[in-house]
């Protein structure tokens, strides 16, 4: 499990763990039925509290990415890609909305916005 913790980031550690594992699942680096490391093992590896890892695993489970079998650990579920794509689309739309509002405030033109997006897409 290649997970990188940034202690000084504003993002809570449990969320960093959650979103990185989520990406591995969507990305299919972690496949259906794969076994996640135990809470304690991962906590040890990342040098964070076991409670923090537990919180991330709980989030993954409530979001439907994994399932936990008592005494055996957590297993990756088959992700519903279409559902996830819809969710991400809505999230992106909301984020674009915020960006457009911010841009208007300081009179960044539509063309400038397009070119900023273009530059990032071409990286």
Partner DNA sequence: GTGGTCTAGACCACT
Partner DNA sequence: GTGGTCTAGACCACG
Which residues, in sequence order, are bridge partners of residue 73? 69
The option from a copy of itself, DNA, none interacting with 19 (CB < 5 to 8 A, set by class) reads: none
Per CB under 7 A, does 12 bind DNA?
A: yes
Torsion of CA 22, 90, 83, 121, to 10 degrees: -60
Bridge partners (DSSP) listed for residue 75: 35, 67
Binding characters for DNA, 43-62, by CB under 7 A (x = yes)? ----xxxxxx-xx-xx----
Out of 1, 41, 99, 108, which residue is the one contacting DNA (CB under 7 A)?
Answer: 41
Q: Is 73 in the site for DNA (CB under 7 A)?
A: yes
Which residues, 40 to 59, sit near a copy of itself by CB under 8 A?
none
Q: Which stretch binds a copy of itself (CB under 8 A): 29-37, 39-47, 89-97?
A: 89-97
Dist. CA 22–CA 28, nearest whole Å: 10
Answer yes or no: are the C-beta atoms of 48 and 13 closer than 8 Å. Answer: yes
74 contacts which partner out of DNA, a copy of itself, none, CB within 5 to 8 A by kind? DNA
Measured distance CA(23)–CA(17) in Å, rounded: 10
Cα 25 from Cα 76, distance rounded (Å):
7
Tokens 């990415």, residue? 65
Residues that bind DNA (CB under 7 A): 12-15, 36, 38-41, 47-52, 54-55, 57-58, 68-74
């Amino acid at each position: 499990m290649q997970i990188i913790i940034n202690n000084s980031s504003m993002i809570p550690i449990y969320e960093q763990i959650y979103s990185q594992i989520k990406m591995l699942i969507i990305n299919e680096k972690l496949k259906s039925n794969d076994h996640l490391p135990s809470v304690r093992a991962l906590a040890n590896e990342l040098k964070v509290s076991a409670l923090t890892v537990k919180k991330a695993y709980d989030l993954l489970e409530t979001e439907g990415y994994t399932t936990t079998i008592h005494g055996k650990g957590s297993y990756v579920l088959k992700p519903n890609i279409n559902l996830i794509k819809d969710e991400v689309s809505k999230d992106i739309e909301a984020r674009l909305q915020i960006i457009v509002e911010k841009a208007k405030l300081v009179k960044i033109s539509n063309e400038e916005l397009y070119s900023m997006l273009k530059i990032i897409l071409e990286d």
